[in-house]
Amino acid sequence: SFFAPPFSLLGQGALQRLGNVVSESGAKRCLVVSQTKHLRDEDEKDVLKRLCKELFDAGTDAFIFSDVELNATTENVAAALLMAYEYDVDSIISAGGGSAHDVAKAVRALYRNPEQDAVQELVGVDEIAAGWIPAVPHFAVSTCMGACSALTRLAVITDPLHQETLEIVDWRITPSVSCDDTLLMLEQPREIIAAAGVESLAHACEAFLSNASTPVTDANALHAIRLLSSYLRAAVTSTPKDTKALDMINYGMFLAGVSFNSAGLGLSHAIANALCAKYINLLSSELLAVMLPHVLEFYGEQSEEMNDDAAELFVDLAEAMGCPKTSSPASAVKCVVQSVARLVSDVELPQTLSEVNARQ
């Protein structure tokens, strides 16, 4: 199976093109879900202002819910849902990283849904009430890099009362339109671009090596790997910023996200998630940078012992990373591991767990 947003706006100026799409959708009263209250950065708040200008020009009223926590909570969903009913909205926009999109997805799944009224009832795979179609369209605007929630069928919501993490997986909560504007990336600090780029490389590699991969997810993952391997150095290190390289990184992140949305993830995410749960002040994307070369080496060793098909995957992976053409899986594994380690080092991300610790 393959899951994707039905309509994606990508590249430079995507945010501006969103105005037209919102207008065509006939949105008159829009719930805007964001984390603005918690942002210290004026640039981030500025994106929300620009978004509201696009809505205004499209003839749409915006009702702003800006209280989403850094980790989205069931309370956030309940409060935003109340606001949606109060203002009788006909559309939802989320602007931000994963948490804003996740709250918007849960609100959309509950809004005007006569059979379900709490996040807990949606938990699991395809547990939205049978036959229910989302009542309003959802436009998801990414302002944080690499947070692929704008284009996936997943929402992760924390229940602070029961100290639980609730996961909703349902193709019907895939946003109607995702929007990834490269111009917003221009404003990000270099270390954020580096971390998001390597995080996406991990998404793509793990999706490609996953047991659930298909040729459709492979197409997306391999091209993501090609773009991220070729352009991440220039995107991070060039002065002034290299707009073409950033554009390619933006597309690479999209392709990586679409690919793991269907094929799933693997060990480096499992390890990073486990460590993050235990040591709350570690950064998941930095952990991924540390883990990825080791995990790829482990997968490589496993696959050589397993069978030819699994080993063959590393030949394709090596080619996508720009390694010299080879038909030997062993040398492909070696080149893949070295290429990733070199990239992590070149974009100045940590290479050992002690470095991650030292930065906290």
Give dist(CA 270, CA 172) in Å, integer.
26
At closest approach, how far in Å is the CB of 5 from its own copies? 7
Amino acid at 31: L
Nearer to its own copies, 190 or 223 (CB): 223
The pairing of beta strand 7-11 with beta strand 29-34: unpaired
At closest approach, how far in Å is the CB of 247 from its own copies? 8
Amino acid at 115: E
Give dist(CA 99, CA 96) in Å, integer.
8
- Alpha helices, DSSP H only, in 58-181? 74-86, 98-110
What is the CB neighbour count within 10 angstroms for residue 178?
28
| Helix or strand run (H / E) with residue 154 | strand 154-159
Nearer to its own copies, 22 or 289 (CB): 22
At closest approach, how far in Å is the CB of 272 from its own copies? 26
* DSSP three-state, residue 283: coil
> Which stretches of the chain bind its own copies, using CB under 8 A?
1-11, 17, 23-28, 90, 126, 129-133, 136-137, 171, 174, 214-216, 218-220, 222-224, 227, 248, 251-252, 254-255, 325
At closest approach, how far in Å is the CB of 219 from its own copies? 3
- According to DSSP, the residues that pair with 180 across neighbouring strands are 10, 142
At closest approach, how far in Å is the CB of 112 from its own copies? 12
Nearer to its own copies, 18 or 356 (CB): 18
Nearer to its own copies, 21 or 336 (CB): 21
Nearer to its own copies, 129 or 270 (CB): 129
The pairing of beta strand 164-169 with beta strand 177-181: unpaired
45: left (phi over 0), alpha (psi -120 to 50) or beta: alpha
At closest approach, how far in Å is the CB of 82 from its own copies? 23
Cβ-count burial 120-145 (b if 16+ within 10 Å, e if not):
ebbbeeeebeeeeebebbbbbbbbbb
Nearer to its own copies, 255 or 340 (CB): 255
Residue 312 CA: distances (Å) to CA of 48, 205, 326:
46, 14, 11
- According to DSSP, the residues that pair with 73 across neighbouring strands are 158
Nearer to its own copies, 67 or 102 (CB): 102
Q: Tell me how far apart the terminal alpha carbons of the chain are, to the nearest angstrom.
A: 40
At closest approach, how far in Å is the CB of 26 from its own copies? 2
At closest approach, how far in Å is the CB of 282 from its own copies? 32
Nearer to its own copies, 143 or 261 (CB): 261
Nearer to its own copies, 25 or 73 (CB): 25
At closest approach, how far in Å is the CB of 218 from its own copies? 7
Phi, psi (deg, nearest 5) at residue 138? -125, 120
Residue 72 CA: distances (Å) to CA of 38, 78, 158:
12, 11, 6
Nearer to its own copies, 219 or 267 (CB): 219
Q: What is the dihedral of CA 335, 340, 343, 344, to 10 degrees?
A: -150
At closest approach, how far in Å is the CB of 11 from its own copies? 7
